């Protein structure tokens, strides 16, 4: 029998989870596909059509994204790459985005019922969490696996049962099989834990630590956890036993990712994440921030080290959680290679400690008007966060004024696809018309023109570039005009901010098309 208080929390919890789902699912297919999404979709296409996946140690991250997409593909009825749709692909990150909100329920024992509800609201409405819950990349899965590590680690720390250790192994293995940056998240958690234990030791908590060590750690449990984690990761990396080399490559890949950390075109200054989340303004009209998460996280990180928490296990875990987010943010800030979606890792740590700090302030003995003021401020920030979410996910979903837009495909590019669909009807081969894409950068063209089987790609001008339709860059256009002897009509489309494509339509095809217009 559920008591009245728990029932109210449950109703509020379900309401917020539902709001989080609506914010993520609403018009999820409208935003143009980012290059990374298109590349992952193409690899998924190979898996659907040929039943084959081989881990590539140089690119594309781990296998879980593709294999865990399959149930959504089966449900949609898609049989090939050409039949995939944006909404089908983005159903996976939406599912994990909602799962992340819901899984906060299992941390009630650590951050309290009120803290859980506060953290659920932050996860549900935070613009960055909503934006990347609609993005077909690995990041949201990785955060959910980390949440599984938090939950199982917390449960095992309180009651060292084998089941929780197996869970810890499973989620760690899934992190390993998802993205190489898991080592940074695991490293940040390890550093935070060591830091807190040293503080405990220095403050004279020897006896409590000794009791925790004697009662909380069974070495053979940890051995089982490691084996389970490796088995889970190896199952995915070996493509379920079909490609054993993937297991070796899953370790060799870290040599290439060490080089990638130097930047490779994605270098940014150390304060990148501070400005991205604290005060982002790029062009006229809009300023974005995530102070709804940053402010309580900052307060919580201070309070948790100042107040006396009698329960040693809870004290150690809360302080570890508080430090984890800031340590991970420091690691990502030091590394030259930076992407906006990497911020999800430390922002999730911030959200969880924010939940605890909100609960602490609510039950503390501060004056009621302080509580009323903080509540009103929080509600105002929630309202603003929902507005930011609306702007970043709809009106500005691919606009450079949006802090989470990174080399995103322009909406203008969608006109090229529509134009080509219209023109192809006037060719005797229809969508089997020959198309030659001759340009330095063409992604995500393969995604948008996936219904055209006779399309080829070149990075330099081939010996015979002639085709009914040629897609090229402004840089190569003049050279192509000389070779093609001015027998084409040309139209310019935006691919990304500052990057354009030229679609050249042979005049015989163009004349048929224009005659009917």
Q: What is the pLDDT of residue 159?
A: 86
Residue 104 is given by DSSP the state G
| Both tokens assigned to 232 | 């889970």
Per-10-residue mean pLDDT, the chain, length 517: 81 96 95 95 94 89 96 94 95 98 94 93 96 96 97 90 95 97 96 92 75 75 95 96 94 85 82 95 88 93 91 91 96 94 96 93 84 89 93 93 93 94 94 94 92 94 92 92 86 93 94 87
Q: What is the pLDDT of residue 206?
A: 67
Cβ pair 431, 409 in contact under 8 A: no
Pairing relation of β-strands 455-458 and 435-438? Answer: parallel
Q: What is the pLDDT of residue 84?
A: 95
Pairing relation of β-strands 499-506 and 488-496? Answer: antiparallel
Which residue in 513, 515, 517, 516 sits closest to 421, CA to CA? 513
| Both tokens assigned to 20 | 């989080």
Look at residue 344 and give its three-state secondary structure.
helix
Is the alpha carbon torsion for 150, 153, 155, 157 positive or negative? negative
Look at residue 289 and give its three-state secondary structure.
coil
Q: What is the largest CA-CA distance in the chain?
A: 89
Q: What is the pLDDT of residue 1?
A: 64
Q: What is the pLDDT of residue 259?
A: 78
Q: What is the pLDDT of residue 423?
A: 95
Q: What is the pLDDT of residue 110?
A: 93
| Both tokens assigned to 263 | 């930047």
Q: Cβ contacts of residue 88 below 8 Å, gap of 6+?
A: 72, 73, 76, 78
Q: What is the pLDDT of residue 116?
A: 94
> Residues 339, 122, 143, CA angle at the centre, nearest 5°?
45
Q: Which phi and psi (to 5°) does residue 315 adopt?
A: -60, -45
Cβ pair 95, 39 in contact under 8 A: no
Distances (CA, A) of 147 to 22, 167, 175, 195, 359: 22, 11, 10, 21, 20
Q: Name beta bridge partners: 41.
A: none
d(CA 72, CA 53): 17
d(CA 470, CA 448): 15
Please spell the DSSP secondary structure of 146-197, one letter per residue.
Answer: HHHHHHHHHHHHHS--HHHHHHHHHHHHHHHTT-TTHHHHHHHHHHHHHHHH
| Both tokens assigned to 353 | 């400690």
Judge if pTM exceeds 0.85.
Answer: yes
Secondary structure of 70-103 in HEC code, one letter for each residue: HHHHHHHCCCCHHHCCHHHHHHHHHHHHHHHHHH
């Amino acid at each position: 029998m559920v008591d009245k208080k728990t029932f109210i929390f449950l109703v509020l919890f379900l309401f917020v989870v539902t709001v989080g789902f609506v914010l993520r699912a609403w018009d999820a297919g409208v935003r143009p596909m980012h290059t990374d999404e298109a590349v992952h979709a193409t690899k998924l296409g190979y898996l659907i059509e040929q039943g084959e996946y081989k881990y590539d140690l140089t690119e594309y991250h781990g296998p879980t994204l593709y294999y865990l997409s399959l149930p959504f593909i089966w449900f949609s009825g898609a049989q090939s790459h050409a039949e995939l749709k944006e909404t089908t692909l983005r159903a996976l990150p939406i599912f994990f985005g909602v799962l992340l909100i819901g899984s906060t329920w299992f941390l009630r024992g650590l951050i309290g019922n009120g803290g859980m509800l506060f953290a659920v609201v932050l996860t549900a409405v935070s613009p960055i969490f909503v934006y990347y819950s609609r993005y077909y990349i690995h990041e949201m899965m990785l955060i959910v696996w980390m949440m599984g590590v938090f939950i199982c680690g917390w449960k095992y720390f309180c009651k060292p049962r084998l089941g929780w250790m197996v869970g810890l192994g499973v989620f760690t293995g899934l992190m390993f099989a998802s993205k190489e940056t898991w080592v940074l998240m695991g490293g940040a958690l390890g550093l935070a834990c060591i830091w807190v234990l040293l503080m405990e030791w220095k403050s004279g908590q020897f006896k409590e630590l000794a009791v925790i060590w004697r009662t909380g750690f069974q070495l053979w449990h940890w051995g089982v956890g490691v084996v389970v984690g490796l088995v889970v990761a190896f199952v995915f990396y070996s493509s379920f036993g079909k490609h054993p080399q993937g297991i070796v490559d899953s370790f060799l890949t870290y040599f290439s990712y060490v080089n990638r950390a130097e930047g490779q075109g994605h270098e940014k200054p150390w304060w990148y994440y501070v400005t991205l989340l604290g005060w982002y303004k790029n062009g006229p009209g809009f300023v974005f921030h995530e102070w709804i998460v940053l402010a309580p996280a900052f307060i919580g990180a201070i309070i948790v080290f100042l107040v006396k928490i009698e329960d040693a296990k809870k004290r150690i875990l809360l302080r570890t959680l508080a430090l984890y987010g800031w340590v991970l943010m420091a690691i990502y800030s030091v590394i030259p290679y930076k992407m906006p979606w990497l911020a999800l890792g430390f922002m999730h740590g911030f959200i969880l400690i924010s939940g605890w700090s909100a609960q602490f302030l609510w039950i503390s003995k501060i004056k009621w008007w302080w509580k009323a003021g903080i509540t009103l401020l929080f509600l105002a920030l929630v309202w603003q966060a929902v507005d930011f979410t609306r702007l970043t996910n709809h009106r500005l979903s691919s606009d450079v004024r949006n802090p989470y837009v990174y080399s995103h495909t322009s909406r203008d590019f969608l006109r090229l696809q529509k134009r080509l669909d219209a023109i192809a009807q006037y060719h005797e081969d229809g969508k089997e018309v020959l198309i030659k894409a001759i340009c330095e950068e063409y992604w995500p063209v393969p995604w948008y023109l996936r219904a055209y089987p006779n399309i080829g790609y070149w990075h330099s001008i081939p010996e015979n570039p002639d085709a009914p339709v040629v897609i090229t860059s402004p840089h190569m256009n003049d050279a192509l005009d000389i070779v093609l002897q001015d027998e084409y009509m040309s139209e310019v489309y935006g691919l990304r901010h500052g990057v354009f494509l030229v679609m050249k339509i042979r005049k015989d095809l163009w004349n048929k098309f224009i005659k009917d217009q």
